[in-house]
Amino acid sequence: MNAAIERRVLVVEDEPTIAESVAARLRAEGFVVELAGDGPAAVAAARRTPPDAVVLDVMLPGFDGLEVCRRLQAERPVPILMLTARDDENDMLVGLAVGADDYLTKPFSMRELAARVHALVRRATKTAAVDPGQDFLRVGDLEINRAERRVLRSGVEAQLTPTEFDLLLHLAERPRAVLPRERLLAEVWGWADASGTRTVDSHIKGLRRKLGADLIRTVHGVGYALEAPRC
């Protein structure tokens, strides 16, 4: 395998100063960066050359980042880091609901941004390399194909975002074990601090919506556990 394999990041931001500094930092980190300044341009760019990750501002001309996120995830799931205004928690929650994997509130440090993008890309790359003997995981009526990143419940396939898939896999590999939200945040998202545990809650909500409310049990004040459903 080529060690210097290119990782492409699409940066979607209409404020030139922010766009340029984000691009410069990511290029310095070794990524190939493409810029888009509005919603339609972002969707077109991702279609032309599928990126390995997307840094996506919410407030954009054309249509906004939430709509970009919806369209990208509907076409080809890709890890997305959403940039939201500091005082707009609603954007963050809606963003996670429409398939963003992570978010940063403005203003953010370039160091933090780079760390988050590395974590997203690393996760996507790591999960792509799978031991062929370990492709299938079955827990009750839940069937997970790691290599193809497909999930079926009672034979019906669910369309999960990359992060929802990783989160489900994490829980399914340890059925019935209670996994603290902080641990899920660290292991699935690669974050060390617990300030983003609502991110975990939001993705759990997505999994329940797509796979059934009975699949994941909430252990109040602690975290979540996958219940092994009966076949």
Give me the DSSP letters along 153-206: ETTEEE---HHHHHHHHHHHTSTT--EEHHHHIIIII---SGGGHHHHHHHHHH
Contact 51, 9 (CB under 8 A): yes
Q: What pairs with residue 138 in β-bridges? A: 143
Using rule CB under 5 A, residue 14 touches Ca ion: yes
Q: Which stretch binds Ca ion (CB under 5 A): 10-18, 71-79, 129-137, 172-180?
A: 10-18
* Residue 36 CB contacts under 8 Å (≥ 6 apart), including other chains: 10, 11, 12, 42, 44, 45
Q: Which stretch binds Ca ion (CB under 5 A): 14-22, 104-112, 125-133, 148-156?
A: 14-22
Count of residues of this chain found to bind Ca ion when the rule CB under 5 A is applied: 3
Nearest distance from residue 60's CB to Ca ion, in Å?
6
Q: Which stretch binds Ca ion (CB under 5 A): 6-14, 34-42, 68-76, 171-179?
A: 6-14
Cβ-based nearer residue to Ca ion, 57 or 91: 57
Contacts (CB under 5 A) with Ca ion, residues 23-62: 57, 59
Using rule CB under 5 A, residue 91 touches Ca ion: no
Report the candidate in 225, 91, 224, 70 with the shortest Cα–Cα distance to residue 161: 70
Residue ranges of alpha helices (H) inside the chain are 16-28, 39-48, 65-75, 89-97, 110-128, 162-172, 181-184, 197-211
Cβ-based nearer residue to Ca ion, 37 or 223: 37
Using rule CB under 5 A, residue 143 touches Ca ion: no
Nearest distance from residue 12's CB to Ca ion, in Å?
9
Cβ-based nearer residue to Ca ion, 22 or 139: 22
Residues that bind Ca ion (CB under 5 A): 14, 57, 59
